[in-house]
Amino acid sequence: MNVASARPAVARQINLQGLSDTVEIDYDLWGIPHIYAHSMDDLFFGNGYAHAADRLWQMDAARRRALGRFAAWAGKEALSSDMLMRRLDLATVSRADYAALSPETQRMCERYAQGVNAWIDSGQLPAEYRLLGERPERWEGWHCVLVMRQRGILMGSLWFKLWRATAFARIGPDCLHLLRYEDGGTERFVVPQEQSADRWSTSLEELRPAIEGLMKLFPYDATGGGSNNWAVDARHSKTGMPIVAGDPHQAYEIPGMYAQIHLTCDSFDVLGLSVPGVPGFPHFAHNEEMAWCVTHAFADIHDLYVEDFSGLPHGAYRTEKGTEKAQHRVEAIQVRGGEDVQIDVWTTRHGPLILGSPEEGKGIALKSVQLQPSDRSLDCLLPMLTASSITEFYDMMEPWGLIDHNLVSADKKGNIGVLVRAKIPVRDRLNGWLPMPGWTGAHEWRGMLPFERSPREENPASGIVVTANNRTVPDDWPDYICTDCHPATRAKRIRSRLESETPFSPSDMLSILHDDVSAPAAEIAQKLRAITPKSEPARHLLSMLAGWQGDMAPNKLAPTAYMAIRQEMTRILARVSDLAGVADTEISRLPPGVSPFTHLWWALPDQLRRNDTSLLGGMSWDELLLEAVETVAQTFDPQPWGDAHRPIFRHPLAGAFPEQAAVLAPTSRYVGGDGDCVLATGSLPQSGATAAYGPVAKYIWDLADWDASSWVVFHGASGDPASPHYRDQNERWARGEQVPACYSRENVRANSARHLIMQPS
């Protein structure tokens, strides 16, 4: 590579300590950095420098959140999260992870940190630091592990288990299976790709003593998301090569989780969506030979144990062999605008108590793969950059364990595949349902699932791979992998599109990414059209659903009417099932919270479909539908779905600085879709129609011509509110369009708006 090639017209040169040779950064028309260096050492220095230039405050915020120090910036609204993070003690486990990494990985992180610190030394700090009156602390190599861990911490099974634990006391063990997310009657699996089946249920009566004891501790007073990805082989492609596409779904927190970046040196040339604070591309990227992407796999990597301290010396708890002593420490948390808060942290053999204490007699201890020391996930990052086939690529994933993924990939040899990339404990399937009694020894981990038994499939017969947070494997899979997942609705819709509309060009994939048809909406609308309301306003409301097929288009009134009715149906279900009270429990307040309305929202369609009235307290479904329609009709404000559903972006400091909220979190263009669509712009069931989460990025990787690839993020490449690239991709993102993912040196040069030359000092 010739880093002294022709220069764009706008160029700037700086001298930096720590470089051994020239590093160049071309910023394209969208402010996306394309970084060129000879050595990996200099390239990762440039990676850290560019990340800090665009996303320093975001990186620092992620670090502080992981350390439980964010309330010092954001005030009391961050206190509960800080308390949880102090209990988890991510600093200790992340330092242990870092010590276990290979020397090559440690060097990558150290060089990245040097680049971050070079930007900090420049004194060009983002606006958030001026608001706070703060300066960033130095970046250290182990912080890369810390941020990577924080970005996926406690996702998945933990919250389902807490939800069922809170529901247990109200509905008993026999109805808990009704609270699993709606699945359309059968489930589509990640592995094997072509299989579907009924789901598994179990008797939970044997867990009653532990849960009843737990709920005496946390008595009653009188959260969605996901991702899509897919790959098709040459049979389904107009290009003669595989195509890979997808979109990660997150809450609309700005700056967004992913930063577009391109890293090139003499050893590799990789473009993708990076995680600010972490070098390389753990989730979404392509090199010269292959492409990869992830969705959350919902593998069960967390267990909860009810610990019994009652009647024992302070800090002692029961085990199957007698008693043990819990470890104890005190943490002090600084709160902006308030007094410091001290908390007692207790840790048992299973892990930290996230609820309860010895004084209360019982508590819940968390045992999670994410809290096991000496994880070597980051050892995967360097080999990923040079992988040339999906088989080689998957074989190098054995160290990965920080978060569970469906890892989809394709290579230029024409192969496509999927691997469940995770460390999964070996234990009984019953662990997947509820917190386990911690004193019996019957529900302990028996090691980790060997890597060679990880669910994996290469080149399925259909030539199509689809994952959308649907069930990873059938419930009769030889190894226990998961209990919970998201509905198969999106996976089924994507697969039906790919099977019926072949062959595809890369641009054709845009229509799938923007598909706004909701199967549950069509099904519920059909049920609603079959009832006869008494009042004229209610009949008028239902008239808006006439002929509607469930497309959540932004210019239509029907989606707005449907959403209001379904949300009211969910509130009624919560009330008559007696599950609304879950919102008042201490368990439900554990951040980010266990909302009965969110969980019942997802469970409702399946119960309605099967006319299962077990949770309706003597009510029929027709009666529930009629009440919902009559209630909504009294106050319904008819407006197009795009207006009702317009996304609201949230900046972490908006609460602490409300006068700056509009600058920190600008308004989005309207969108269609909802949480059941491929275009998964989801609302929170308890918070109206506003889109609260959805695709924070979209990508299409064209293996026939990398320069024909495209991508987009929901606001822009920069995390600086003053930058012209803070929100310049929002219009395209909302309209279902993307921007070029320039890859070749010639294409990058042709689209370069700014050129930075970094020379050794």
Say which range, 159-163, 183-187, 350-354, 657-661, has the weakest mean pLDDT.
183-187
> Above 50 in pLDDT, residue 629?
yes
- What are the helix (H) ranges across 343-466? 381-386, 390-395
Q: What is the pLDDT of residues 350-360, one digit of tens each?
A: 999 988 899 99
Query: How far from 731 is each of 12, 649, 712, 725, 728, CA to CA, in Å?
Result: 30, 14, 10, 12, 7
Say which range, 122-131, 367-376, 494-503, has the weakest mean pLDDT.
494-503
What is the percent of the chain where pLDDT is above 70? 91
Q: Is the domain 519-551+557-639 a CATH 1.10.1400.10 member? A: yes
- Phi (first) and psi of residue 524, to 5 degrees: -70, -40
Residue 411 marked in a binding site: no
- The answer to whether the CB of 113 falls within 8 A of the CB of 140 is yes
- The answer to whether the CB of 204 falls within 8 A of the CB of 434 is yes
pLDDT at residue 548, as a whole number:
98
Dig out the tokens for 702 from the structure. Answer: 């064209």
pLDDT at residue 476, as a whole number:
82
pLDDT at residue 166, as a whole number:
79
pLDDT at residue 182, as a whole number:
53
Q: Name the nearest CA neighbour of 562 among 596, 532, 520, 598.
A: 520
pLDDT at residue 215, as a whole number:
43
| pTM (two decimals) | 0.92
Catalytic residue among 157, 227, 588, 718: 227
3-class SS of residue 751: coil
> Above 50 in pLDDT, residue 543?
yes
* Residue 227 annotated among the catalytic residues of the structure: yes
Residue 54 marked in a binding site: no
Q: What is the pLDDT of residues 131-167, one digit of tens each?
A: 999 999 999 999 999 999 999 888 878 888 887 887 8
> Above 90 in pLDDT, residue 686?
no
Q: Name the nearest CA neighbour of 588 among 225, 221, 176, 303.
A: 221
